[in-house]
A = this chain, B = another copy of it.
């Protein structure tokens, strides 16, 4: 079938390619004409603006929006005047599910369907397929089924879950209609919240391994330095790339994120190309807000989020204040960096 794609960045462009490989027709638009031209060469139908984009879509139109969360509002506002009742907007980016609910309400009032689709897979999605978490009315979601099926990974080589047999459930093919509007992004949001914590688990653990030789260093003896009473227990020099590698086979912690960690560490064991300022892009925040608003205790997820804030220097004033208090009650001066 046919799909229109607005936003041809890393994600959007790869998704268009995957759809075309599966035989679907794609009309594409991006504010960057080079991104449009690149896909036109591969067989996509180019468009020059949103009016042109909508004119080139057959009815009912299906317009997939794949842009940063902060500009989704603007794109929908600009798109809507070119649409007609029965058309569909799919937001496949990392939008806040509360915005979906708002968008759906407004668009439904004008007869336009809105579908929210959380999309996981990153740069590997082109080959590996995208895991899709979908929210919206059943009719619209069913109409788009061939698109979702083509984007999703399919059953692949993965062993079936115990107890499942017979025809494959769509969830086993890698896409799921999660519920009414917002449900898709809600599930994707929590997916990313989990992702942050999984990443933090590996990062903290490997950092401990990195510290396993602290007993080999000289250790200051003064009232400002916690004593290391048994340095003989911290004499190791561990090979982190090989440890990540061995955990990939047969261990309880094997995962796709660990595979990526092994890639990164094998290529650059000291990770010298990274400074350690870790971005967060919204979903981790929204997951924690949902945890707070629903009363679901999630200290591991939220602490992982906060570690990213701290990595970017956002704890600095708090830390200065701790040193200031220590100076106040104990006359403690800060120790300079080694």
9-residue interface stretch from A29-37, A50-58, A313-321: A313-321
Cα–Cα distance between A243 and B191 once the two chains are bound (Å): 10
Copies in the complex: 4
B207 and A317 within 8 A (CB): yes
Is there a chain B Cβ closer than 8 Å to A81's Cβ?
A: no
Q: Specify which chain B residues have a CB less than 8 angstroms from the CB of A101 in the assembled complex.
A: 232-233
Known: A195-B252, A321-B261. A228 touches B190 (CB 8 A): no
CB distance from A338 to the nearest CB of B (A): 9
Is there a chain B Cβ closer than 8 Å to A24's Cβ?
A: no
9-residue interface stretch from A38-46, A83-91, A106-114, A168-176: A168-176
Known: A249-B131, A307-B299, A311-B315. A239 touches B178 (CB 8 A): yes
B131 and A169 within 8 A (CB): no
CB distance from A332 to the nearest CB of B (A): 7
A266 and B204 within 8 A (CB): no
Q: Specify which chain B residues have a CB less than 8 angstroms from the CB of A201 in the assembled complex.
A: 194, 197-198, 201, 300-301, 304
* Binary interface encoding of chain A residues 46-88 relative to chain B, with 1 for a CB under 8 A from any of its CBs, else 0: 0000000000000000000000111100000000000000000
The residues in A between 285 and 304 inclusive whose CB is less than 8 angstroms from any CB of B are 285, 287-304
Is there a chain B Cβ closer than 8 Å to A152's Cβ?
A: yes
Is there a chain B Cβ closer than 8 Å to A125's Cβ?
A: yes
Q: Specify which chain B residues have a CB less than 8 angstroms from the CB of A158 in the assembled complex.
A: 248-249
B250 and A68 within 8 A (CB): no
Q: Specify which chain B residues have a CB less than 8 angstroms from the CB of A305 in the assembled complex.
A: 292
